[in-house]
A and B are shown apart, each in its own frame.
Chain A
Amino acid sequence: MIHLDNVSFSYEKKPLFLGLTMYLQSGHIYGLLGENGVGKTTLLKLLAGLVFPKGGMCKVLEHEPRHRKPSFMSQLYFVADEPHLPHSTAARYADTYGVFYPNFDKSLYLDYLKEFQVPAEQVFSKLSFGQRKKVVISFALATNVPLVLMDEPTNGLDIPSKSTFRRIVAGAMTDERSIVISTHQVRDLDSLIDAVLILHQGKIVYNEDLNALADKATAQPNLENLFQEVIQFH
């Protein structure tokens, strides 16, 4: 589904990624972990074709993201940390933007909004940060695209909404789909994530299936400890 090989990237003269290689399969919820400023958001933007690599190979859903072909853009959705929404309502938004995604399911979108208790007829400017974020998350999952990228999705969500988020994502998973979630709040998501990616010093230094790991160990891996150990070791 995603194959990055020896990718390099820098902002002006500051190199961020150097020889970054990773391989992601469909049917998993990947948790992308890393320290502040390590480039988690940039990596998601690279996959979405919002920034371009300086070198190496970047293949996502059989496409090179930098070409930004419509056939590629209609197969993935990027949920940014800050929700950017036009002057509209959640209900009208679906009619305007749903058409870009061939498998968009409007009734599913409205169900998600109801579960999140977001009023569909309210103008976005009257909604809180958390509520706007819930609109974007609902829309992303209702597009039924094979790849959903989420940057800190639980940021700004209250405790009951985090629970709703886990329920909705668990129900939206299929074998044909992958979700990559960058997060600092591993405790919000540790029952949801089944594969862990750790970005450290410009590379993916860890990429493991948690269920395979739980099989070998007698305990459930604690993601916070795992993260500390991995970055100390490297």
Chain B
Amino acid sequence: MNFHNQIPIYLQIAEHIGEQILTQRWKPDDKIPSIRELAVQLEVNPNTVQRTYDFLQTQEVIFTKRGLGYFVAPNGEQNYLNWRKETFIQNELPIFFKQIRLLKMSFEELEKRFYEHENI
């Protein structure tokens, strides 16, 4: 995984986990990799993965069973979507809006392109 500097690495790892959940690769109540396993896989400091897991627990995306590890929460997908949508609206949409205004693109054109993209 390649990291960038736009947002903290622990949140980039949270998005990586969120993608596994949204694409159903990890389903509710599935066990997810341990902190050490994910740290090795992503070549990052285990303390950073620990931060990610702490964060996702407070968002109720994952939960821990003492001694057994971490699991996808029953409402993990919805809870992840709620958080991710909020950060998307706050951080990424304004940049997108600014670009379409600068490039003078209409909503009709966007809509057309959106459906073209969906059909790929």
Q: Which residues of A contact B (CB under 8 A)?
A: 27-29, 163, 166-167, 170-171, 173, 190-194, 211, 214-215, 217-222
Q: List 18 contacting pairs A-B, 8 Å CB cutoff, sorted by A.
A: A29-B45, A170-B40, A170-B44, A170-B46, A173-B47, A191-B43, A194-B45, A194-B47, A211-B10, A211-B51, A214-B8, A215-B8, A218-B8, A219-B7, A219-B8, A220-B6, A220-B7, A220-B12
Residues in chain B near residue A173, CB distance under 8 A: 39, 45-47
Residues in chain B near residue A191, CB distance under 8 A: 3, 9, 42-45, 48
In the complex with contacts A211-B10, A215-B8, A163-B48 CB distance below 8 A: no
A-B residue pairs, 5 tightest by C-beta: A214-B8, A166-B43, A194-B45, A170-B39, A171-B40
Residues in chain A near residue B47, CB distance under 8 A: 27-28, 173, 194, 211
Total interface residues on B, using CB and 8 Å?
22
Give min CB distance, A71 to chain B, whole Å: 28
Q: Which residues of B contact A (CB under 8 A)?
A: 3-10, 12, 36, 39-48, 51, 91
Residues in chain B near residue A222, CB distance under 8 A: 5
State the total of A-B contacts with C-beta under 8 angstroms.
Answer: 66
Q: Identify whether the interface residues of B are mostly helix, strand, loop, or mixed.
A: helix
Name the residue on A nearest B37 (C-beta): A171
Name the residue on A nearest B44 (C-beta): A191
Residues in chain A near residue B5, CB distance under 8 A: 219-222
Residues in chain A near residue B39, CB distance under 8 A: 170-171, 173
Give min CB distance, B57 to chain A, whole Å: 16
Please tell me which one of the listed residues A27, A28, A192, A194 contacts residue B43 in the complex, with CB atoms under 8 A apart: A192
Name the residue on A nearest B87 (C-beta): A218
Give min CB distance, A175 to chain B, whole Å: 9
- Extra inter-chain contacts (20) besides given A170-B45, A214-B10, A220-B6, CB under 8 Å: A28-B47, A29-B45, A166-B44, A170-B36, A170-B40, A170-B44, A170-B46, A171-B36, A171-B40, A191-B42, A192-B43, A192-B44, A192-B45, A211-B51, A214-B8, A214-B9, A218-B8, A219-B5, A220-B5, A220-B8
- B45 contacts A193, CB within 8 Å? yes
- B48 contacts A194, CB within 8 Å? yes
Give min CB distance, A144 to chain B, whole Å: 15
Give min CB distance, A207 to chain B, whole Å: 16
**Complexed CA–CA distance, A27 and B35 (Å):** 14
Name the residue on B nearest A214 (C-beta): B8
Name the residue on B nearest A218 (C-beta): B7
Please tell me which one of the listed residues A28, A29, A167, A217 contacts residue B40 in the complex, with CB atoms under 8 A apart: A167
